[in-house]
Amino acid sequence: MYVMRRQHRGGKSVEKRQERDKRYQEAFEDITQTLWRCNEKYNLTEEENHPQTLRFKLLMERCTTERRLLEEISLPCRFILEHFSTFMGKPDQTLGFSFGTLEVGRGILNDFCIDEWGNVFLIIGSIRLGWRDADYQYLFYPDKVILRSFDRIKPEIHLFFNFAFKYSKLIPGFSEVATDEQTLYWHPDLFNDVE
């Protein structure tokens, strides 16, 4: 009923993204190793509540999120987060969501993080919205995404935004998202940006 699949060849755009991913993966691994060595050498996380300690931990968490973005989550989820990164923190580009019957207005996407087990969190205004990537399938539309749980008891999550996918120009590099097993639907209008 919802499944709409169409084969796409990503070509050079996908190859370019994969090559870039390898470089960034190696760079974030080096950065992580350096942070661990510095922490060990200088005992930077000893004082748990000191502001510098808290900021150092945030830096480590940010680096871990970037590594997990490349290594651990599904391609559809990564595509969403990469797109959101293009307007994160911009007051004129907002993100709204609904979770089951709870409808929230729109807010600025302040940040996102990826925790263990592929738990993804969006920080929208003062709200932290989360889901486990492996538990959801994704339905893509030009200006919204619906996250549908494999477990039908959990409510759907709707993410809607005024900065449509075509504006970030990421679709050619992520063309294989359309045929990914976690992509339940890919709106035909999105194909215009790939071909």
Is the overall model pTM greater than 0.85, yes or no?
A: yes
Reported as a pLDDT band with limits 50, 70 and 90, residue 7 is: very low
Residue 1 lies in a domain: no
Answer for the pair 98, 70: CB distance below 8 angstroms, yes or no: no
The residues with which 102 forms a beta bridge, in sequence order, are 99
Provide mean pLDDT across the span 55-60.
95
Higher pLDDT, residue 47 or 142: 142
Residue 73 lies in a domain: yes
DSSP character at residue 151: S
Residue 101 lies in a domain: yes
Nearest to 142 by CA among 158, 164, 173, 171: 164
Distance CA 35, CA 71 (A): 19
Segments forming the whole domain that contains residue 151:
11-191
Residue 2 lies in a domain: no
Residue 3 lies in a domain: no
The residues with which 124 forms a beta bridge, in sequence order, are 109, 127
Residue 154 lies in a domain: yes
Distance CA 28, CA 17 (A): 16
- Report how many domains make up the chain: 1
Provide the percentage of residues in the chain whose pLDDT is more than 90.
Answer: 84
Q: How far is CA 119 from its chain centroid?
A: 11
3-class DSSP state of 81? helix
